[in-house]
Structure 1
Amino acid sequence: MFFSIIIPLYNRPQEIKELLQTLIKQNYTAFEVLVIEDGSTEDAEEIVRSFQNNLDIHYHLKKNEGQGFARNYGFEKAKGDYFIIFDSDCLIPSDYLENVKNYLYNNYLDAFGGPDEAHPSFTPIQKAISYAMTSVFTTGGIRGRSKNAGGQFHPRSFNMGVSRNVWEKVGGFIITRLGEDIEYSIRIQQAGFKIGLIPSAKVFHKRRTSFKQFWKQLHFFGRARINITTFFPNTLKAVHFFPAIFTLGIIFTLAANLLNLEIAAFCNIFLLIYLLSIFIDAWFKNKSFKVAFLSIFAAIIQLTAYGFGFMQDFWMKLILKNK
């Protein structure tokens, strides 16, 4: 099985260097790498070409259209039997392709996604953000499960694979951002292809380096969930409302305390238990008091930023029908 690894890139030369350094170490070597520079003003051509002696690597520069269409460009140029998409801020374990190849030979999937976690070299904030995006105490816990309350598993494009057959019959991404990976996954499923999680196809995902950047990203994710709903109305499930409910609960708790309402004590106890549970779980997983403490803030940001984005576009697009 020959893999084509497709990496869209926009103004992140240092990130692509670190990712490519991990691909050199792959145990399974039947693969090519396509780096699609999406109209960057700070290009990485020199860095990418410096890996030509170590990898079967191809650099392509195109006008800026967004990550979804940059991946489509890569699909068009790819030679592989199977396409794998990575975000440029990922680090890939040396056994990744070997694990994927073995899994597909034994239990073939037309499209797959894999989990992510923090690398030991990540900063405490990056580890806290990674915790929030993968924890069962937030909606992040849904992302790494083959079955969940949200229904069918949908691969995320930071770590996603599709067969050439899927590309030839379904095509690629039809929106370039705002939930493009979930929209694509739903179309693949509706075309009758088999989608699943490969638990061993793990990557180390850096995500954002500050809480401010993390807030912006999760607010965008909340909006993306509503954008997907405009394509597939029946995909909006009860679990998708949890961040909005949590956000409203935080607002109500603050108001109850300011107004000295009797229910404030109950709200405070409930919130304290929830945050303490996050701290204990994050400490157990990271063995770090600092990361556990930061994980409380990361989890609150993950839920409230997503919640505000979700409510904003729910009101604008689904209630007011503003396109």
Structure 2
Amino acid sequence: MFFSIIIPLYNRPQEIDELLYTLSKQSYMQFEVLVIEDGSKNDAKAIVAKYAHQLDIQYYYKENEGQGFTRNYGFARAKGDYFVVFDSDCLIPEDYLETVANYLLEHKLDAYGGPDAAHASFSPVQKAISYAMTSPFTTGGIRGNAKHVGQFHPRSFNMGVSREVWETVGGFILTRLGEDIEYSIRIHEAGFKIGLIPAAKVYHKRRTSFLQFYKQLHFFGRARINIYKHFPKELKLVHFFPAAFTVGFVFTLILNVIYPPLAYICDAVIVLIFLLIFFHSWMLNKSLKVAFLSIIAAFIQLTAYGLGFIQDLIKRIVLNKND
């Protein structure tokens, strides 16, 4: 089984260096790497060239179109039986491709996704963000989880599709705003088999600051409405939870000002949620600092996603306006 690893890149030369280093250490070496520079001003051509003797690697530079269409550019030039997509801010365990190859030979998936985790080298903020995106106490619990809600939709930081999927379904028709979910829905509808490979994890850095994390999650909230515009049935009750939390939190703040006795129950619920997050993160990460930061990360995740969701819900559905 031969893999083509597709990596869209935009102004992140340091990240691609670290990612390529981890790929050079793979125990399974039947793969090529295609790095697609998406109109970057700070390109990584020289860094990619360092790995020419360690990897079967190609570097392409194209005009900026966004990550979805950039992946399509790589798909069209790939030679593999499977096309594997990574975000440039991932680190790949040494046994990743070996794990995927063995699983695909046994289970015959047409497309797959895998979970993400925090690497030991990550900063406390990055570990807290990783916790927020994978915790059962936030909406992150449905990402890369074997007990996910509804159909499993691989996420583009760690996903793969067979050549047959590419030749039958094509590639991404959205370049951002939920493009990976939209793509996996079309793969499902075409009758292909999609599954989670639980052991095929990557270490996903995500964002290095809470401000960057807020912007990313606000974007994710907007993306969910974009998916709804294409596939109304894919909007589930769980997707409203961050918006409900956000509205509830604002309502609680107002109650605390105008009539505190009515706010006690709401205050208690919010405190309970944060305590659960704190102790669960402490148990997993063995760090009080990461546990405390996990409360901040979870709050940002819920409110940023919720505000983005509410913004585009009002704009694109209630007011029926498009960008």
Could you say which TM-score interval applies, normalised by the shorter chain? Answer: over 0.9
CA-based RMSD of the aligned residues comes to: 0.7
Q: Give the aligned partner of residue 207 of structure 1.
A: 206
Q: Give the aligned partner of residue 290 of structure 2.
A: 291
C-alpha distance in 1, partners of 2:318/2:197? 38
Partner-residue secondary structure (3-state), 1:316: helix
Partner-residue secondary structure (3-state), 1:291: helix
The AA in structure 1 aligned to 2:127 is K
C-alpha distance in 2, partners of 1:267/1:308? 20
TM-superposed CA distance for 1:148, in Å, is 2.5
TM-superposed CA distance for 1:147, in Å, is 4.0
> Cα deviation per residue 1:160-190 (whole Å; 9 max; x = unaligned)?
1000000000000001000000000000000
CA contact (8 A) 1:147 1:153 kept: no
Partner-residue secondary structure (3-state), 1:40: coil
The AA in structure 2 aligned to 1:178 is L
State yes or no: 1:272 paired with 2:271: yes
> Cα deviation per residue 1:63-108 (whole Å; 9 max; x = unaligned)?
1000000000000000000000000000000000000000000001
CA contact (8 A) 1:146 1:196 kept: no
C-alpha distance in 2, partners of 1:111/1:147? 18
Partner-residue secondary structure (3-state), 1:152: coil
State yes or no: 1:101 paired with 2:101: yes
Q: Give the aligned partner of residue 84 of structure 2.
A: 84
TM-superposed CA distance for 1:146, in Å, is 3.5
C-alpha distance in 2, partners of 1:141/1:270? 19
C-alpha distance in 2, partners of 1:146/1:318? 32
Q: Give the aligned partner of residue 148 of structure 1.
A: 148
TM-superposed CA distance for 1:269, in Å, is 1.1
Structure 1 length as normaliser, TM-score? 0.99
C-alpha distance in 2, partners of 1:197/1:164? 18
C-alpha distance in 2, partners of 1:147/1:181? 20
Q: Give the aligned partner of residue 29 of structure 1.
A: 29
The AA in structure 1 aligned to 2:120 is P
Q: Give the aligned partner of residue 139 of structure 1.
A: 139
CA contact (8 A) 1:82 1:161 kept: yes
Aligned pairs (5 A) from 1:1-323: 1-149=1-149, 151-323=150-322
Q: Percent identity?
A: 69
The AA in structure 2 aligned to 1:319 is V
> Cα deviation per residue 1:288-319 (whole Å; 9 max; x = unaligned)?
00000000000000000000000000011111
Partner-residue secondary structure (3-state), 1:109: coil
Count of aligned pairs: 322
Partner-residue secondary structure (3-state), 2:84: strand
> Cα deviation per residue 1:18-40 (whole Å; 9 max; x = unaligned)?
00000011000000000000010
Partner-residue secondary structure (3-state), 1:321: coil
> Cα deviation per residue 1:166-217 (whole Å; 9 max; x = unaligned)?
0000000001000000000000000000011000110000000000000000
Structure 2 length as normaliser, TM-score? 0.99
C-alpha distance in 1, partners of 2:225/2:292? 31
CA contact (8 A) 1:12 1:44 kept: yes
C-alpha distance in 1, partners of 2:283/2:177? 34
The AA in structure 2 aligned to 1:111 is A
Unaligned runs of 5+ in 1: none
